[in-house]
Amino acid sequence: MKSHQLISRIAKQATEEFYSPFPPNYKIGRTKYIIVAGSVMSGVGKGIFASSLAKLIKYYGFKIEPIKIDGYLNQDAGTLNPFRHGEVFVLDDGTECDMDLGSYERFLNTTLTKDNYLTAGMIFKRILEKERKGHYLGRDVQFIPHVTGEIKFSLRNLAVKSKADIVLLEVGGTVGDYENAYIIEAIRELIYEEGKQNVCFINVSYILEPQNLGEQKSKPAQLGLNRLLALGIQPDIIVCRAHKPVTQRIKEKISVYSNVPLRYVIGLHDIATVYEAPLLLKKQHVDDLVLEKLNLLRKAKRLKQATNLKKWRRFVKQYLNANKRITVAIAGKYTGLRDSYASILKAIEHAATACNARASVKFIETTNIHSIKDAANALKNVDALIIPGGFGKRGAEGKIACISYARRTKIPFLGLCFGFQLAVIEFARNKCHLKKANSTELDPKTKHPVICILPEQNLEKLGGTMRLGSYPAKLKPDTLVWRLYKKQTIIHERHRHRYEVNPEYVQLLENRGLIFSGTSPDSLLMEFLELPQKEHPFFIATQSHPEFKSRPMQPAPLFFGLIKAVLE
């Protein structure tokens, strides 16, 4: 840039009130936007609604790209406690993010990146880095226009990079949250700048039905809408979540109060499975209402959607009509909140449906298990055992006891990440006679550190220090894992861990009968283990998290193998 152009740019930015940066080659109107925000309360299913809507629109032949924004100051979800926020979902590129991105990947059968996730911590970090570099040309940096400008830039940048027809933004939390105030303001500005014909704002509200009254009440929803209108946003569509079907009277009240035509007030009640949500939305033509608002309905490929929906209905029918019943135990320490293991639960559902079975899940709190006898009581009448990922000493010995019982009694077993490490410890103790074998995470002074941090790893802090994202693994031919992955030599799975199998113990473990059926391509890191099928019908563990890549009609191979082993 020439000196006189730079001076002119500085002078202009110093005097104008607008600050709305656009990525190169961005053109207003080329990409449309759908905004999904909630009111009344969080946790009402915005993510499932947004995923279902996106699925219907994708089925029409449009390229739709989701993005989730959360108002917390964490730079990512990696250090969040699963008790407080549900599971940490990991993307191929190593991004640790909100579990709703898992819903998007599963419903859209797609692979997302860091561009599909945004937190307040990320936004502020970027702004402060730019401020230190003089990016703002001497201006005082403020929430408006700079923070709101950064949010708008992120949305537009995703639009350009993905070449999407539609970008769908889900706002975490609710409209009334203090931490969401500037996010809602950024959306108001986006509508102003892009034009109302290019943005569809959907408010997901909740209709309460107090048990002592036995009727639905719309007042909390009205108050939430009042807050939204006060912030300068007129919703285009209102989705009323409720336990039972929303009455016509309630829809009329919401319509009158919000200035939203009655046909744009949608009811979404609790259903037997979230897989029915797209079908319920389709029945009310929500996808058509959105595309009509965005002037895209004429481009919708109806035959393409009908063909795709036929396959989806077949899957839902198979899920609902499964005639075999099995029980799978998940032994962990976050069992008080089902969302802590959301992807595992979905992977079990996908695999069971593919096998024409319905799996009920029994959660086992391993902090209460102190012996093999305790494990035997906990695993009574259980058909399979899964030990999920996790961190820390609490409950670890209980998990090891469960693994030991499953190995000895031939209960089909699948270990994931931490479950893989604990399976190595159990085998070392009971088959290699290394009674003090442990992980240096659990006992830094253990005599036999079969699981440890390798010398080349440098860990000085918690955030961003793990082996994260998709990594290749080389599978050993003629193993069960190799067959489950359809005899592929190299496969890719996602990881989220710090500790590895100590190479010094690999030979001893193998000599005692443990098979490391998958390693890193250089053979230095152990990725999969199994026991010979003549000794155990299904005993497999992996350092990775295959549950993150499971899809409704494409179950994760290891989960499919587990369910199949139970049924056989």
Catalytic amino acids? 417, 545, 547
Pick from 430, 437, 557: nearest CA to 501: 437
486: left (phi over 0), alpha (psi -120 to 50) or beta: left
Where does 338-450 have alpha helices with state H?
342-354, 372-378, 396-409, 418-430
Integer-rounded Cα Rg, in Å, for the chain is 26
Q: Which two tokens stand for residue 481?
A: 């894992």
Residue 268, amino acid: L
Give the residue carrying structure tokens 């940096």.
Answer: 141
Q: Is residue 557 classed as helix, strand or coil in its secondary structure?
A: helix
Integer Cα distance of 443 and 327 in angstroms: 33
Phi, psi of 509 (to 5 degrees): -60, -40
Q: Is residue 189 classed as helix, strand or coil in its secondary structure?
A: helix
Q: Is residue 258 classed as helix, strand or coil in its secondary structure?
A: helix
Integer Cα distance of 356 and 447 in angstroms: 47
Max Cα-Cα span within the chain: 81
Name, in order, each residue with C-beta under 8 angstroms of 143's C-beta and a sequence gap of 6 or more: 182, 185
Integer Cα distance of 365 and 383 in angstroms: 17
Q: Which two tokens stand for residue 155?
A: 């949305």
Strands across the sheet with 448-452, in order? 437-439, 448-452, 500-501
Integer Cα distance of 551 and 104 in angstroms: 11
Angle of the 46-59 helix axis to the 100-108 helix axis, nearest 10: 20
Beta-strand runs (E) in 143-278: 166-171, 199-206, 237-242, 265-269
Integer Cα distance of 96 and 91 in angstroms: 7
Under DSSP, the state recorded for 247 is P
Q: Report how far apart, in Å, the C-alpha atoms of 155 and of each of 161, 178, 188, 372, 560 are.
A: 10, 21, 13, 53, 37
